[in-house]
Amino acid sequence: MNDTLVTLVGNAATGVEFRETATGGMARFRFAVTPRRWDREKQLWTDGHTSFYTVWAWRTLALNLSGSVSVGEPLVVHGRLKVREEEREGQHRTFVDIEAVAVGHDLTRGTAAFRRVMRGEPALTARVGRAERPGTPARPEGGTGPDGPDVLRDPGDSGKPDGSGTRRSTGRQKAGQELVSAP
């Protein structure tokens, strides 16, 4: 396969638009990349010309993007470069798209909390909104759980009162315990 693979570092310029299709989920968002250079004469960093790309994602990556990325967040995008040329209303236009293979937050500019999504649990990719009750602090975007922050809990315990649900150990925790992050 002769695809051109690129890795871009920049910011989400728009929110992620997610759509269900016949073959699975599809997501897209605009991505801004601005190079920074050291100006020796002025002795300071200067911004170069900003380039914009449309990032496309499919299936699981699309669903996870829709629950993980907001406008302005720093990202690293890796994928296939696609250049389209179109003529609209007598004007020749060039579009540069990235068909994403992997997308992640840029950890040189902040921290992130990873949550493994198990098949059949789409609620784990939903963005956490405002608190449900007045006076209750909003949950952090990173992770949630019913037992409080950094709680060790039995992997068979779903946190539901009836004890239903199953959890799978990732092999990184001690056997029989799982670290759960909460509000």
Tokens of 143: 């992770």
Alpha carbon 1 to its chain centroid, in Å, reads 27
Residues 6+ apart with CB under 8 A from 181: 113, 142, 143, 144, 145, 149, 150
Extended strands (E) in 49-168: 51-58, 74-88, 91-105, 151-153
Q: What is the C-alpha separation between 72 and 14, in angstroms, rounded? A: 8
Q: Which of 63-67, 114-118, 156-160, 173-177 has the highest mean pLDDT?
A: 63-67
Q: How many residues does the chain have?
A: 183
Q: What is the C-alpha R_g of the chain?
A: 21
pTM for the model stands at 0.62
pLDDT tens figures, 122-172: 555 555 553 443 443 443 444 444 433 333 334 444 444 444 444 443 444
Q: Is 130 exposed, middle or buried (0-12, 13-18, 19+ CB in 10 A)?
A: exposed
pLDDT tens figures, 55-103: 999 999 999 999 899 999 999 999 999 999 999 888 999 999 999 999 9
pLDDT tens figures, 20-46: 988 889 999 999 999 999 999 999 999
H helices, E strands: number in the chain: 1, 10
**What values do phi and psi take at 7, rounded to 5?**
-125, 125
Do 87 and 94 meet the contact criterion of CB atoms below 8 Å apart?
Answer: no
Q: What is the C-alpha separation between 132 and 138, in angstroms, rounded? A: 8
115 band by pLDDT with thresholds 50, 70 and 90: confident
Q: Which residues pair with 105 in a beta bridge?
A: 75
